[in-house]
Amino acid sequence: MAARRGSRARRICAYLAGIAVLVGGIGWLIGRDLWSVRIIPASPARLSAIVGEDLEWTPKPTAKPGITFAEVERLTGAAKLKIPPFNSKTTDAEILKLAPQIEGTRKSTDILERIIATRDASPAQIMALGEMPEVGLFSLRTAYERQFVLAMVRRDSARALELILREQEFERFQASRQGGFLDYGIPSVSRMVGLAWRRNAFSTAQLRRLYDGLDVAPAVDRRVPRRLAFCFQQFVAEGVEEEAKQLHSPPPGSSEQSSVGEFDIAKTYQAGAAITREGIHNASLPWHDMKWPIAEAVDRIFRALPKEPTDDDATPGWRKWFDETLYRQKMRGIPNVIGLETLRGDHDGYGAITQGTLETSTSTRTLSEAGRLLVSLWLYEKTFGHYPAKLTDLRVLKLPGPEPVDFFAGGPFQYDARRLLLWSVGENGVDDGGRTDLGSGPADDLLFKHP
């Protein structure tokens, strides 16, 4: 009897041990899967087919540079760009005190402008010039603006007009020779025109010359497809390549060490390419006709991704483990979750970058057109002694070229003669009556106030 009971107990223990081993094995497999990454590779031929010729970033061979960097350093070494630190609150008297420093930059800026304007200067050389700390395209343009401000203070209208027209040539050259990169912010020419307008610096003859020298912004920005192809290579292709490299050999303490889920390289390329082509298609449309179903769909997926559990010292260890396990289980169930995280990056996602490129193009072209319109309003006031009652009255001036266009509206700018206010409807495409909430509300009109 005792022997029978002992045999039964041994069998029960064996069963329980078997169940424990089975459960432990399943748990180990699940746990291992929760702490692993599944990379689905793609052949170069397949990735090349996804990208296609339209998204390839293959700059054309550059011409032989017309000047070497050694020559640049020799020519500018004695007068490197030193930008006097003043802003819109600096008085005219303070600017005049800084005049020797501002004029000291003229040697460098004139030399550099000749280098940049050299027709055999390659895009690679121009970009390299911009990266030189003692040069810098931003510093160069800032130096020109400082010289322009000094000319305004001295009422040297001839020099001021010359600087605006030279800056227009520089912006034109940048757009055509630097791979079509888009500028961010207000174009320098528009800022210069606005300042000259507020100071009433030019005569009627000078205003006509200025208007003739200003470029008409294109209805369709041909730079956008090339810019988007560049963005695709920079944020998608290079991002995927770098992510795959990091996942294969994650650096200590990196986020890749704790990554989980699937990384389908081909699907990541396909999503990025689809968003890019959507942007290229929208570039040929008016602002109010642009649609973003693909970018918005990917953005919804971004927002639906589970949030990482917080590492709070007050949270018990068992709760941290449970939250981490639950998070990883959710991530493991999402197809190509690491690819989606790669497209999201550190910002609002690749779709936002693509949409931002179109917004930048539309804004820059609208501001350029506003500069032309400001000059025509100014010329009208110089001719007739008062501003027009409505924008159509400007036609009496018989100025060359098409009438300035607000590309956000797809038509003319808004104008209120009583308030002496000119404005664009802005990104929301709605006329808010010349009101902007500066991020605190929906109104986002771009305003240009009469002096």
Q: Spell out the domain ranges in the chain.
A: 35-57+224-346
CB within 8 Å of 392: residues ≥ 6 apart: none
The β-bridge relationship of strands 37-40 and 421-424 is unpaired
pLDDT, averaged across the chain: 79
Instruction: Assess contact for 219 and 405: CB atoms under 8 A.
Output: yes
Measure Cα distances from 182 to 172, 178, 187, 286, 449 in Å.
Answer: 11, 9, 10, 18, 26
Query: What are the pLDDT digits (tens) for 187-216?
Result: 788 888 988 888 888 999 999 999 999 999
Q: Is 62 helix (H, G, I), strand (E, B) or coil?
A: coil
Longest Cα–Cα distance of the chain, Å, equals 124
Please tell me the distance from the alpha carbon of residue 421 to that of residue 414, in angstroms, as a whole number: 8
Please tell me the distance from the alpha carbon of residue 427 to that of residue 315, in angstroms, as a whole number: 44
Q: Whole-structure pTM over 0.75, yes or no?
A: yes
Q: Is 323 helix (H, G, I), strand (E, B) or coil?
A: helix
Instruction: Assess contact for 185 and 156: CB atoms under 8 A.
Output: no
Smallest CA-to-CA distance from 215 within 179, 164, 181, 148 is with 164
For residue 397, the model assigns a pLDDT of: 94
Sign of torsion, CA 310 311 313 316? positive
Which helix (H) or strand (E) element contains residue 254? none
Length of the chain: 451
CB within 8 Å of 294: residues ≥ 6 apart: 274, 275, 278, 351
pLDDT band at 133 (very low <50, low <70, confident <90, very high): low
Q: What would the mean pLDDT of 118-140 be, rounded to a whole number? A: 58
